[in-house]
Amino acid sequence: MVAAIFPAAGSSKRMGGSVNKNFLKLAGEPILIRTLKIFSQIERVNFLIVIVAKHEVETVEKLLNETENLKPWIVTIGGSERQYSIANGLKLLPDDAKIILVHDAARPLVSLRTINEVIDAAKKFGGAIAAVPAKDTIKIIDSEGFVKYTPPRKDLVAVQTPQGFCREILLQAYNKAAEENFLGTDDSSLVERLGVRIKIVTSSYENIKITTPEDIKIAETFLRSEIK
């Protein structure tokens, strides 16, 4: 069985910070709900762990209770960093969850194909992450703002979610990070520190993370072209 963890407990600073961006509506539906509905369409996904800020728990529970066709879910409280939010979610894994997906609630345009391919690759390799080839040339810079070097673009990918892992590997990675005070910017970076080879699943450029106000317009445009 597959359990999926959805961090949605951030402060949405780049969106303006006044409301949790995961509650903003996209084509009439809150982003969080759209994301949860997509994962609920996948048969082998059996449990959803939704992570929000303490003061949002009740509202979100009510919202999820009113939503049809969701897989069984639980809502819990996040932490001050994304990694701490997910660490809280990991405490609530059902015993039979063998594959764990972590997916930013703020990526409501993820495709079923990407989710399925991440699950399959996580089963096969222990860890797999959605990513797209880098479009821009990326420079490694120094602390004074000068270029150190330019890695070849063909070797670079921009990483997204979902990221999927075998349960024991992910739990071990989170324990090690906590013991060593390592704070990563994605889940894979914690697992990489165990020496596990992480498989890249080529995703879609449409799987954007809703981050700044214009991302809402971009996402609406993608959705309109899907409906036609």
Contact between 184 and ligand CTP by CB under 6 A: the answer reads: no
Using the contact rule CB under 6 A, the part of the chain among 38-46, 104-112, 139-147, 184-192 near ligand CTP is: 104-112
Does 59 contact ligand CTP by CB under 6 A?
Answer: no
DSSP for residue 44: T
First and final C-alpha spacing in the chain = 34
Cβ closest to Mg ion, residue 9 vs residue 166: 9
Query: What value, to the nearest 5°, has the Cα angle with vertex 15 and ends 83 and 82?
Result: 5
Q: Of 196-225, which residues contact ligand CTP (CB under 6 A)?
A: 209, 211
Cβ 212 to ligand CTP, closest distance in Å?
A: 8
Binding partner of residue 189 among ligand CTP, Mg ion, none, CB cut-off 5 to 8 Å per kind: none
Considering only residues 6 through 45, tell me which ones interact with Mg ion, judged by CB under 5 A.
Answer: 10
Asked if 14 touches ligand CTP (CB under 6 A), the answer is yes
- Closest CB to Mg ion among residues 20, 207: 20
Nearest Cα neighbor of 161 from 39, 17, 13, 53 is 39
Residue bearing tokens 């391919």: 117
How does 145-165 read in b/e, with b if 16+ C-beta sit within 10 Å? eeeeeeeeeeeebebbbbbbb
Binding partner of residue 207 among ligand CTP, Mg ion, none, CB cut-off 5 to 8 Å per kind:
none
Q: Report the 10 Å Cβ neighbour count for 93.
A: 17
Q: Which residues bind ligand CTP (CB under 6 A)?
A: 7-14, 22, 51, 78-82, 85, 104-106, 209, 211
